[in-house]
Amino acid sequence: MPWPHIPLSADPAAFPVRPPADLADPAKIAAHDQAAFDAVERMVDHWDRPGWTAQTRAYYWMLSFPDSPVLAGLARRCQRHLAPLGLDPVPDDGLHITLTRVGSAATLPLSRLDDVISAATPLLPEAFRLRAVPLAGSRGAVRLTVAPWAPVLALHAALSESMASLELTPGKPTALFRPHLSLAYNNRPRPAAPVIEAVTALRDLPAVDLHVREVQLVELRREDHAYRWDVVKSVPLG
């Protein structure tokens, strides 16, 4: 199916700040991501985020890939190469694409989650395929590019629309969303050049194809410099 065109906006808080000109071509999206990361001078501590503690629990929509051994294999290969840098690798069962925050578990009762799921289900787009391309990064992580962006943006927009009907505010509007899949998180301020050099050596690894058939509503937490979650509901795409 032709995916709707969703215009994206530049945002200093997003990465990359400016979206790619082409949202369909994996090679062009990867080149844009890589160029943005290559221009980073200093990396920041990904975990230094006010408001998050070991006790924090929040609901998110995300895509996870527990049944993709090829993706897990690519992640481990990259992580072994990056190990001397002391980054925090994402475990095999922690690989994910964050879509949008739904709300704090402290303020959103469980009974409300049925409404969240019911509102989202009829708006979800059909299943789609993504390509995960080595390798780029951000100011706080090393990550795979995912492409094309159009179906992920359509999914984000559908979830945002469903939340608006319940007077819930998504973490960010679709116009500022940048799809990606992190492999390792940076855990201290540091010069970016050594990380960029290590990442560049991995850019000839083959891409991985992913079939996205469902979206997960999860209760997210942090454990030992990793994101962990309990799945509230996996909802099939339309």
Q: What is the spatial distance between Cα 91 and Cα 89, in angstroms, rounded to a whole number?
A: 6
* Structure confidence by residue, pLDDT tens digits, 72-90: 999 999 999 999 999 999 9
Residues of the domain holding 82: 26-45+56-233
**Structural domain contains residue 92:** yes
Q: What is the pLDDT along the chain (238 residues), one digit of tens a residue?
A: 578 889 999 999 999 999 999 999 999 999 999 999 999 999 999 999 888 888 899 999 999 998 899 999 999 999 999 999 999 999 999 999 999 999 999 999 888 999 999 999 999 999 999 999 999 999 999 999 999 999 999 999 999 999 999 999 888 999 999 999 999 999 999 999 999 999 999 999 999 999 999 999 999 999 989 999 999 999 999 8
**Structural domain contains residue 217:** yes
SS3 222: strand
**Tokens read off for 21:** 């000109």
**Structural domain contains residue 4:** no
Helix H or strand E segment including 133: strand 128-137
Q: Specify whether the CB–CB gap between 26 and 131 falls below 8 A.
A: yes
Q: What single string gives the DSSP state of each residue in 4-58?
A: PP------TTSSSSSPPS-SS-HHHHHHHHHHHHHT--EE--TT--TT--TT--E
**Structural domain contains residue 127:** yes
* CATH number assigned to the domain comprising residue 100: 3.90.1140.10
Half-sphere exposure at residue 72, Cβ-oriented, CA atoms within 13 angstroms:
10
**Structural domain contains residue 107:** yes
Total tally of structural domains belonging to the chain? 1
